[in-house]
Amino acid sequence: MTKLSVNINKIATLRNSRGGNIPDVLKVAIDIQNFGADGITVHPRPDERHIRYSDVRELQAIIKTEFNIEGYPSKEFLKLVKQVKPHQVTLVPDPPEALTSNAGWDTVKNKTFLQDIIAELKEEGIRTSIFVDTNPDNIINASDTNTDRIELYTEPYALMYNTNRQKAIDPFVEAATLANKAGLKINAGHDLNLENLKFFSQHIPFLAEVSIGHALISEALYYGLEKTIALYKNLLAK
């Protein structure tokens, strides 16, 4: 079964908008795990506009499932993840001012850079994943970086889903097949939701994990957090 990792950045955004500690990021992370999620994802950014570096350090003690930390591999980010030692680090190419992740790595141009970063993380015993699009060249060169996994950037799929779902999924099936042949495990994330996730999951047989935050937290406003997680888990059941 594909694992569900819940990105809790939006919980921190809500807390930060008012000050104080409501909602309590740590309590929500505990509840999400108790409600059946397979992991917690965070993406600390340099300006700490949602998840703070201090949150990441405090979360380490209460994650009983899987801890995935996303981010651009700056010196500060690498120092943080080496201290925390999460189960997985997902490397993204976002510049500091990016509102959200909006592209995958060019693994041709950045191959040596990624090889060096991944070697550092593997010395710490941390599993690595790199954020990529469906371009075959980026998949093949991702394999050469020695990463354990890739995370397919799924916004293009989500944007096309309602007009031509088969055309939307085809590049991802090809990319996943190529990655699987190269020995990479496959994660996915960005704009996956209750409407489009099942079709994606059904067509990507090698899908190890999805990381979902914005849509899941938004849908939880209507269904409640526990029910929403159950709905997602049901969609991922093979």
Is residue 180 pLDDT above 60, yes or no? yes
Q: What is the pLDDT of residue 94?
A: 73
Sign of CA dihedral 52, 56, 57, 62: positive
Rounded mean pLDDT of 39-51? 94
pLDDT for res 104: 87
Domain that holds residue 85: 3-236
CA distance 63 to 234: 22
3 and 39 in contact (C-beta within 8 Å)?
yes
Is 87 annotated as catalytic? no
Angle 9-15-18 from CA coordinates, rounded to 5°: 140
Q: What is the pLDDT of residue 105?
A: 92
67-85 burial, b if ≥16 CB within 10 A, otherwise e?
A: bbbbbbbeeebbebbeebe
Taking Cα atoms as reference points, which of 131, 135, 202 lies closest to residue 175? 135
What whole-number distance in Å separates Cα of residue 180 and Cα of residue 173?
10
pLDDT digits (tens, 9 = 90+) for 185-205: 999 999 999 999 999 999 998
Sign of CA dihedral 82, 86, 87, 89: negative
Q: How many CB atoms lie within 10 A of CB 34?
A: 12
Residue 60: the pLDDT is 97
Which residues on adjacent β-strands are paired with residue 91? Answer: 71, 130
- How many domains in the chain? 1
Whether 50 sits among the annotated catalytic residues: the reply is no
pLDDT per residue over 64-89, tens digit each? 999 999 999 999 999 999 999 999 99
Give 153's DSSP letter: E
Count of residues in the chain: 238
- Asked whether residue 100 carries a pLDDT value surpassing 60, the answer given is no
Helix (H) or strand (E) holding 30: helix 25-34
Contact call for residues 40 and 62 (beta carbons, < 8 A): no
Structure confidence at residue 157 (pLDDT): 98
- Active-site residue among 50, 66, 151, 190? 190
Catalytic member of 70, 151, 209, 219:
70
According to DSSP, the residues that pair with 130 across neighbouring strands are 91, 150
- The yes-or-no answer on residue 190 being catalytic is yes
Q: Write down the pLDDT at residue 98.
A: 54
Give the other-Cβ count within 10 Å of 172's Cβ.
22
Cβ neighbours, 10 Å, residue 57? 12
Q: What is the CATH number of the domain that holds 191?
A: 3.20.20.70
Predicted confidence band of residue 1 (pLDDT cuts 50, 70, 90): confident
Which tokens go with 232? 């997602």
Tell me which residue of 118, 7, 111, 4 sits closest to 56, measured CA to CA: 7
Q: What is the pTM of this model?
A: 0.94
